[in-house]
Amino acid sequence: MNVEVRDEKFRAVVGGDVEIEEVGSGFEFTEGPIWNHVEKHLIFSDIPGNIMRRWRPDGSIEPWRQPSNMANGNTYDGEGRVVTCEHATSRVTRTESDGSLTALATHYGDKELNSPNDIIVKSDGSIYFTDPGFGRMEYFGRPREQQLSFQGAYRLDPESRELTLLVDDFDQPNGLCFSLDESQLFINDTMRAHIRVFDVNGEGLLENGRVWAEVTGGRDGAPDGMKIDSQGNLYVTGPGGIHVFDPAAACLGVIKMPQGCANFCWGDDDLKSLFVTASTSLYRVRVQVAGRRTF
């Protein structure tokens, strides 16, 4: 079986078993998948390959942006523009409709960001991203001295471009996602193997941070990509594959992947296809509960 059922509710969310379909391979390290529900294609990053690619349902894969500045996480803003975390430049950028790049965030104060990693956009247009140090390491980025003394998470105001540090006490913050009503923000910590949750106040800042769940298992893997489905179930990469939690933080089970997986998103017309970036490959897994559109 390709699943580990820890709670019977898993069958209604994911299924009693799943088929894992490889739809692309031969990459170096895949990350940052995002589904375009208008144009019906998937964009994903290959960090050490220094390229972003586009996959279409006919199976074709083509370069989308090269070089990519060792892009990692991606998302869409409300206008359907791609917003990207770049490891090699320590920037958050936006790809405009004409293909040009706009740098949205590069520094906190007078110091370079570490290496923006994963990113989401709130319904009001504000951008939230994590900033661990992975992009300053060999293979996953450009080795160089880190200027900031902490690894944190930030909010970028869409109008003023003001960058606000939200929290700075992570070891290596990574995946992040909002609750369905955006009243809470979940952020995982790769090295501590747990997920924290914060209340989001009226100004978009974070309060009352606490550990929400531990991500456990006997195989290799750690918290990285993380998202919420249309019913509020939280999916996160972890030991052995993708771990699925219900809204009450109970782990329902694990989708067991053939390679260590870094990230995923929902796609196809019904948003029930889970596109998984896993090491050198791209996979598709059909689940029972749909994900959500990002723009």
Predicted pLDDT at 58: 97
Residue type for 250, please? A
CATH 2.120.10.30 fits 3-286, yes or no: yes
pLDDT band, very low/low/confident/very high, at 104 (cuts 50, 70, 90): very high
Q: Is the pLDDT of residue 216 over 90?
A: yes
- On whether the CB atoms of residues 243 and 215 are closer than 8 A, the answer is yes
Predicted pLDDT at 158: 84
Q: Is the pLDDT of residue 181 over 90?
A: yes
Predicted pLDDT at 96: 97
Predicted pLDDT at 159: 86
Domain boundaries, the chain: 3-286
For 258-279, what is each residue's pLDDT tens digit?
999 999 999 999 999 999 999 9
SS3 assignment, position 192: coil
| Integer angstrom CA distances of residue 89 from 64, 137, 177, 184, 285 | 19, 13, 24, 30, 33
Predicted pLDDT at 56: 98
For 60-103, what is each residue's pLDDT tens digit?
999 999 999 999 999 999 999 999 999 999 999 999 999 999 99
For 139-180, what is each residue's pLDDT tens digit?
999 999 999 999 999 999 988 999 999 999 999 999 999 999
Give the other-Cβ count within 10 Å of 125's Cβ: 13
